[in-house]
Amino acid sequence: MRNRMGLFGTVPFLLLIFEHVHAQCSLPSFEANNVVPSEFYPPSHSFPEGFVLTFECKTGHKATGQGQSKTVTCSNGSWTELALTCTPVKCDPPPAIVNGEFVDAPLEVYEYSQVVTYKCNKGFSLSGKASIHCSEDGTFKPEPPKCVDGCVKPVIPNAYRISGKASPPYTIGSFIEYGCSPDYVLEGASQITCKGERWDPEPPMCIEPCNKPDFGANFILTQEFQSKSKFPHKSKATLECSRGYVSVDPAVIRSDVTCDRTTWTPLKLTCKEDPKNTTETSNALVLACLGKFGYNKWLTNQPQPVPTSSEE
């Protein structure tokens, strides 16, 4: 009887296990819909009964209509139907540009990520990106370039013209010489010449200075640098321990840092509170207290020695 009852008692448990295993769903694939799960799951991943899985269009594809459901549900070991369907992105031919042309003959239709490249006619210079591509929304990006007569006017923040042509058009042989605002450092050639379609060499840059270095209250600039507020690119500054602090390494009492494009290089100096300063501070507090309450009063309150007779 016990064995029989034990067998019968096991049957519902086995049915529950079977039902639980049966309810699992494997990772679905809707290749024909051109979709992928919104989150990554390994191929061996399984999903419990009632799990809702969300899909999105593959890269380079877009939904065929509005309001399509992007989810499926695990039900009795299989997935419900997916409404979302995506088709490959197509782009119409990009526009032609004035005083320029396509490097290759244009197509009637372009696939996602296909590239179109422009070039300018002789004597004109390209302004903008030479190549544009068919993007995910079915348009070419970025905007097509323009072809201008000669070189494009350089835009160099914090630079000023020293000599050369002041304004366009910049034709072959036009040149400009540049300098930088105070505390800014010129990087590149100071003089550039228009070669018809480009500047030679490339226009320079004016590198921004660093602000006064701040590594915390433990450190202070040495006397020679304290009056400065701006430090040009590649310039140095020296720091030492602030008053009341001493270097952890007695062999290193100062350290140089270098301005590198608005950022200071690491400081190779560590300062700690001076133990002597702590003692002096404590003594100063004691003296301050004695001065406030009266040194004589303090002496009066001290135990007085009992006089002894010399005869004894």
CATH code for residues 90-149: 2.10.70.10
Helix, strand, or coil here: 182? coil
* Cα–Cα distance measured from residue 176 to residue 153, given in angstroms and rounded to the nearest whole number: 10
The pLDDT value recorded for residue 18 is 46
Nearest partner of 200 among 189, 208, 212, judged by Cα: 189
Q: Which CATH architecture has domain 210-275?
A: Ribbon (2.10)
Would you call 16 helix, strand, or coil by DSSP?
helix
Do 154 and 141 meet the contact criterion of CB atoms below 8 Å apart? no
pLDDT of residue 78: 93
Tens-place pLDDT, residues 12-30: 444 444 444 557 999 998 9
Cβ atoms of 244 and 274 within 8 Å: the answer is yes
CA nearest to 74, candidates 26, 36, 37, 32: 26
What mean pLDDT do residues 105-134 have? 91
Closest CA to 116 of 98, 95, 137, 89: 95
Residue 289 has pLDDT above 70, yes or no: no
pLDDT of the residue at 305: 60
Residues ≥6 apart with Cβ < 8 Å to 142: 128, 129, 132
Residue 310 has pLDDT above 50, yes or no: no
Q: What pTM did the predictor assign?
A: 0.47
Q: Are 40 and 34 in contact (CB under 8 A)?
A: no
List the beta bridge partners of residue 121. none
CATH superfamily of 159-207: Complement Module, domain 1 (2.10.70.10)
Whole-number pLDDT of residue 7:
47
Whether 95 contacts 144, CB under 8 Å: yes
Question: What is the structure's pLDDT at 283?
Answer: 53
With 50 as the cut, is the pLDDT of residue 70 above it? yes
pLDDT of 57 strictly over 90: yes
Query: How do 191-194 and 175-180 pair as beta strands?
Result: antiparallel
Domain ranges in the chain are 20-88, 90-149, 159-207, 210-275
Range of lowest pLDDT (7-11, 37-41, 128-132, 263-267): 7-11
- How far CA 284 is from CA of 280, 287, 289, 290, 301, in Å, comes to 6, 5, 9, 10, 22
pLDDT over 90 at 61, yes or no: yes
Q: Do domains 90-149 and 210-275 have the same CATH topology?
A: yes
pLDDT tens, residue by residue, 137-191 = 899 999 999 888 788 889 999 999 999 999 988 888 899 999 999 999 999 999 9
CATH 3.50.50.60 fits 20-88, yes or no: no
* pLDDT value at residue 192: 98
